[in-house]
Amino acid sequence: MRFSSFFPTLFFLFCFAILPFNPAKAQSLAEKIDAIVAEQYKPDEPGVVVRVQKDGKVLFEKAYGMADMELGVKMQPDHILRLGSITKQFTAVAMLMLVQEGKVSLTDDLTKHLPDYPTGGRKITVAQLLNHTSGIKSYTGMASFMSIMRKDFTLTELIDHFKNEPFDFEPGERWSYNNSAYILAGAVIEKASGMAYADFIEKRIFQPLGMTDSYFDVTDRIIPRRIGGYEGGDKEGTFANAPYLSMTLPHAAGSLMSTVGDMGKWDEALYTEKLVKKDLLQQAWTATKLNSGAMTHYGYGWGFDEVGGHKFIYHSGGINGFVTNGIRVPDAHLYIIALSNNGTKGPDGMSYKIAQTVLGIPIDKPKPIELTAKQLADYVGVYEMDSPDQWRHITLEGNQLYSQRAGSERFKVFAYGNDRFFFEDHPTRLHFERNKAGKVTGLVPKSTMPFGTDDRYLRTEKDKPTEKATVGVAQALLDSYVGTYNLFPNFDLTVSTREGRLFAQATGQEEFELFAESERRFFLKVVDAKVSFMPAEGGVVKELVLHQGGQDMKGTRK
């Protein structure tokens, strides 16, 4: 199961430009799309349904792989799958409908609608719930989430579960993806409309739009053509039924399900005023400004970015056994929706390749340009964000520039434009900034995940930050840590050792080295995470704890 249940999944961006669409090429285009999807989804594995429509007409719709591994049922285009966090755009539009009706204002204080919610004197607006800037603790990030996954909650009980948690930051100070905020948005919708959230979505959105195959997911409800989801099995290349999740938990953050055909109807409705006036709906696709003045890449229920002259409006989702992605490109009237019951393979990058293919644009691979050592020396220095612990160090050896961020290794970077650099094997770009005198004063990494804000590092006059010290650990002790540790259903951490070094590999992820800060505590350089091994029992280490994102997650040796 994904750590971030009903969170958006990570995807890679490609650069596009606008080209005219030629219907005469539809057949060859369909073959290209088919090849892109077939490369990722195999016939005997859990699959995906993909729909591409342009100007309201279907260009491509096809199902791949298996809907039911046990019964041998193949995926069909009309199968119903969970949407995960794509649910959030429906929640956002539902809120805007109530704004249009004068029942809610985006500037309303949360306590106007939920007077008992403990804000500690803070003003949290309805808009801040929708744009992930409230600072409220996201309940799916709490250590207790895995233990309540199977429990049914009323909406009040669910809010009670997280309402007394400390705030992560003051409202409007930062952007942080937040499922609790969308639960509260669902509660505001219920209070203002006098209807249950599920009823509001089904009666006020699904029914008027003719989305007859879309539902608020209720486990015991008989829904024809609804299928189950899968996660990775104990061995690589195998699958298991996704662990049970009470669908009372995702609620307005992720409890909807649909077909690609119904999602096509949804996208077309967004070009009209059937639900919300255009000027009001446009606010959902407008960048959020933080208290500092920094702009995010998220509005209400959608993320977006400017890519190759297009505005991409999108959201993805991940929920037990399902991963989804939807991309709309309004200036090309293009929509791509991919719904998968294969929790091991996100369709995000694939969806972008499809958009690239439809628009007829090859992947923009930067071509390196040569700079002299003197020109490259302009960039050398230590760059910091908000604290000395958040830094990037730019160094030069010969005619090669390197970038190293806190807690990570250093990597080569190559110039491809004016103050623009790229990594050899990673899509992140480094954009350097200069002052009026021409001196380099900062850098901004352009990330592959354009939700949130662009991190800005300011150049300092400091020496290279001190690296975290490591200690030597006896091989016999390293050997005692080797094994597979189960953290959650279908999620393991496999520990191995080679040549006096320790490595860890999480289910479905790459292997990374662990560096010792003590005999039992290790850290990773690629992410901000640590692993602690518990003392041996009867000569065998039976448990470890993964420390990441403010959580301590225990793993039991298999």
Please give the pLDDT value at position 102: 98
Q: 253-264, pLDDT tens digit by residue?
A: 999 999 999 999
Please give the pLDDT value at position 553: 82
pLDDT of residue 18 exceeding 50: no
Q: What are phi and psi of 128, to 5 degrees?
A: -70, -25
* CA angle, 294 then 297 then 303, to 5°: 155
**pLDDT band at residue 59 using 50, 70 and 90 as cut-offs:** very high
Amino acid at 478: L
Tell me the domains of the chain and their CATH numbers: 23-359 (3.40.710.10), 373-460 (2.40.128.50), 475-557 (2.40.128.50)
Buried b (16+ CB within 10 A) or exposed e, 186-203: bbbbbbbbebebbebbbe
pLDDT of residue 476 exceeding 70: yes
Q: What does the mean pLDDT of the chain come to?
A: 88
| Of 4-8, 35-39, 188-192, 365-369, highest mean pLDDT | 188-192
**pLDDT band at residue 23 using 50, 70 and 90 as cut-offs:** very low
Q: From the centroid of its chain, how far is CA 56?
A: 27
Helices (H) and strands (E) in the chain, counts: 12, 29
Please give the pLDDT value at position 19: 29
Q: 404-421, pLDDT tens digit by residue?
A: 887 667 789 999 999 999
Closest alpha carbon to 287 in 169, 450, 493, 441? 450
**pLDDT band at residue 369 using 50, 70 and 90 as cut-offs:** very high
User: How far is the C-alpha of 228 from the C-alpha of 250, rounded, in Å?
Assistant: 17
Strand partners, 241: 230
User: How far is the C-alpha of 506 from the C-alpha of 499, rounded, in Å?
Assistant: 21
Q: 293-324, pLDDT tens digit by residue?
A: 888 889 999 998 765 567 889 999 999 999 99
What number is the average pLDDT over the span 98-115?
Answer: 98
Tokens of 291: 């208290």
Query: Can you give 220-289 as a three-state secondary structure string?
Result: CCCCCCECCCEEECCCCCCEEECCCCCCCCCHHHCCEEECHHHHHHHHHHCCCCCCCCHHHHHHHHCCCE
Measured from the Cβ of residue 148, the count of other Cβ atoms closer than 10 Å reads: 16
Check: pTM over 0.85? Answer yes or no: no
**Length of the chain as a residue count:** 558
Tokens of 470: 């490591």
Q: 506-521, pLDDT tens digit by residue?
A: 876 778 899 998 999 9
- In which residue are the tokens 């520990």 written? 495
Please give the pLDDT value at position 186: 98
